Structure 1
Amino acid sequence: MAVARLEHANITVSDPDRSAALFMQMCGWHERWRGPSQMGGRTIHVGSDIGYLALYTNEGRGGPFSKGVPLNHVGLEVDDLDAAEAVVVAHGLTPFNHDDYYPGKRFYFFDWDGIEFEVVSYSS
């Protein structure tokens, strides 16, 4: 069985620029990306070449992603997305929001405690 690694954590912060500066200085990270979030608000990704924090803000703090404030989801990178989804289903959990956009394919699921996970694969 392939070993997964933590790819990113998406957290809601009040000031993504301030948080990005802290993490870049404290951890020696760099800014990987910044821009508008697909669901409103904006996000800055800071980290290394293999993992990052997604620092998200939406001043309205409402809508479909208020459920996890301050933790929105944990991202896990896998080599085989179909095999990972089969494991999720075998454990009685329900994958949702399948999507394929740059840079990879992904799906989401909630665990038994309501924590949301994004499972992503960058393999072709």
Structure 2
Amino acid sequence: MAQPRIEHVNITVSNPGRAADLMRRLFGWRIRWEGPARDNGRTIHVGTDDSYIALYAPPGAGPDYGFSQGQPLNHIGVEVEDLAAVEALVLAEGFEPRFQGVYQPGPAHFYFTDHDDIEYEVVSYAGRA
């Protein structure tokens, strides 16, 4: 039997377009689909051919929608090849990378938090045996 894998994650954001654009700039992902969603909301699927994040906003969501980091999502982990290049993009977007380093036996990594207080862990296994 093939190893199970995560095909997508669906999260609520205040502005799906802004969140998708950020992911496109940082990770090189593409918009796979966008359109109306449940309860008259809007969703954008952004990712690769194999997996994606569904970015959902209910009607009336906006900058003051009231998100609380870690409730219930702790963070989204994204694997990249060039950690330094993505960290530079994160800084250029105005976000503050934090907790940079390597933990054993884990990858090199850093964290940042986006407009909706969603935390991302960006990791790289490049150069590790």
TM-score, scaled relative to structure 2: 0.45
Give the structure with the higher percent strand.
1
TM-score, scaled relative to structure 1: 0.47
Higher relative contact order (CA closer than 8 Å, sequence separation 6+): 1
